[in-house]
Copies of this chain bind each other. A is one copy, B any other.
Amino acid sequence: MDFAYADALNQAIRLLSLRHRARAAALLEPLGLHTGQEALLLELDRTGPMIQAQLSEALGCEPPSVTLMTRKLEASGHVRRAPAPGDKRASVVELTDRGRALTQQVKGLWCELAEETVAGLPADTAAALPGILMILTGNVDTRRPRRRQGQTIDRGEL
């Protein structure tokens, strides 16, 4: 593997992370949201109420992070927590009406951000991009079982 290429790729990913996150933060700030919280709201909007362990899985961040995110969103009244029926350890998280309203605004910003991000790219490139990035993510993902080299794993899921 050519180092010049490797460096270009890793650096590009690093810079995109920094800038995309910074831009997202700037867009979300008027709504009183910090980066990461929008992902939780959008996930609840997509999937409906769920317990924190599921959120952790869906958001790709660790349980302690989810604890803090939900705590803050609860404090700001966008999310509600209730004891999970049938499991006294777990608590289900769901959007409040205010949270649902805010999520709609987030969706608008999210479209803006995506549009801004892929500006100047050929349409087919832009269309393929999410899928490509998901492949990359899967390739370096150490949380899940570890997919081998971008090919799907045989169905040995316990």
A residues neighboring B (CB under 8 Å): 1-3, 5-24, 26, 39, 42, 60-61, 107, 110-121, 125, 127-130, 132-137, 139-143, 149-151
Residues of B within 8 A of A141 (CB): 19, 23
How many copies, total?
2
CA distance A151 to B115 in the complex (A): 14
- A65 CB → nearest B CB, Å: 10
Q: How far is the CB of A59 from chain B (nearest CB, A)?
A: 9
Please give, as numbers and ranges, the residues of chain B lying within 8 Å of A8 by CB-CB distance: 130
Given A1-B111, A6-B115, A13-B16, 9 additional A-B pairs, CB 8 A: A1-B115, A3-B107, A7-B107, A10-B113, A22-B140, A23-B140, A26-B142, A120-B135, A129-B132
